[in-house]
Amino acid sequence: MSARIVVLTGMSGSGKGVALNTLEDAGYYCVDNLPPELLPQLLSLEQQRPADQQRLLAVSVDARSATSLHQVLPLLDQLRADGQAVRPIFLDASDDTLVRRFSETRRPHPLMRHKGAQAVTEAAEDADHQALLETIRQERELVEPLRERSAVIDTSLLRPAQLRTWVRHLVQAQPSRLTVVFQSFAFKHGVPLDADFVFDVRMLPNPYYIKELRPQTGKDAPVADYLRQQPESGELIAQIEAFLSRWLPSLENDQRSYVTVAIGCTGGQHRSVYCVEQLKERFKGRAVVLTRHREQDGK
């Protein structure tokens, strides 16, 4: 069952426009920059429609509603208490990525508008990254409570096609159950910001050094067969499985609905991909399981 209500939040410049367009293409009625205090009225109006005419709703809320952001979490709790299928999604990106995006587009950060037109102009013309960084840090503090209660997507290294795919997968997952995302990545490109747990599998034998296996990935049978034959692979995957089996129930009991487990190797092509696929099979049935391959998805 898809989430009937999506509340999209996140850092300015993290790709919320792409995500909202994706939701609109998926059949959601989308409202950008809705003041949180108006969300109950929107839902009330929607509920007055005949049952067969009620729509999927997606609402974007961010730092532009700074004075009323504190109202979002109680609203989410009330929606869940009412039995609504709601999915909060938070888009994030590294500070350096956000600075680069604002510099490339030469758009002012929404929170900098409050400093006056002159300050904005000087920041744009002089490329005052320090002022922009400080504003981004202030925004992080403002939206952190929302981040802690949402499904987080790190868009720092994502292409728009990847982001669209990941958003679609999230809203299609059953929101009332714990969702576990297993994500492969390359350490050389950095650890994902959205990871709750990070496991390093670089100690496993590397198929990259076998000529026939180098152009393939951990999803391909020859690579999977090679890694399956290595005793270390099975031992490491079993240890990760045991750790998660022990602690995921505690997270679920603590009202966590979404957990990202990042598995990293050097290039994000062979070992981490294989481990993610193996863990997906082991946790099927225990939770809603999604997989991501950061260095491959969207290619």
Residues making up the binding site: 10-17, 62-65
Element (H, E) at 196: none
Distance CA 183, CA 229 (A): 23
Distance CA 246, CA 122 (A): 53
Tell me the backbone φ, ψ of residue 233, rounded to 5 degrees. Answer: -65, -50
Q: Specify whether the CB–CB gap between 272 and 218 falls below 8 A.
A: yes
Which residues fall in the annotated binding site for GTP?
62-65
Residue 183 CA, chain-centre distance (Å), reads 11
Q: Tell which residue, 181, 163, 149, has the closest CA to residue 290.
A: 181
Distance CA 274, CA 267 (A): 13
The secondary structure of 8-65, three-state, reads EEECCCCCHHHHHHHHHHCCEEEECCCCHHHHHHHHHHHHCCCHHHCCEEEEECCHHH
Which residues fall in the annotated binding site for ATP?
10-17
Distance CA 150, CA 46 (A): 23
Tell me the backbone φ, ψ of residue 174, rounded to 5 degrees. Answer: -65, 115
Q: What single DSSP character describes residue 99?
A: H
Q: C-alpha angle with apex 166: 160 to 172, nearest 5 degrees? A: 135
The tokens describing 61, both together, are 């809320």
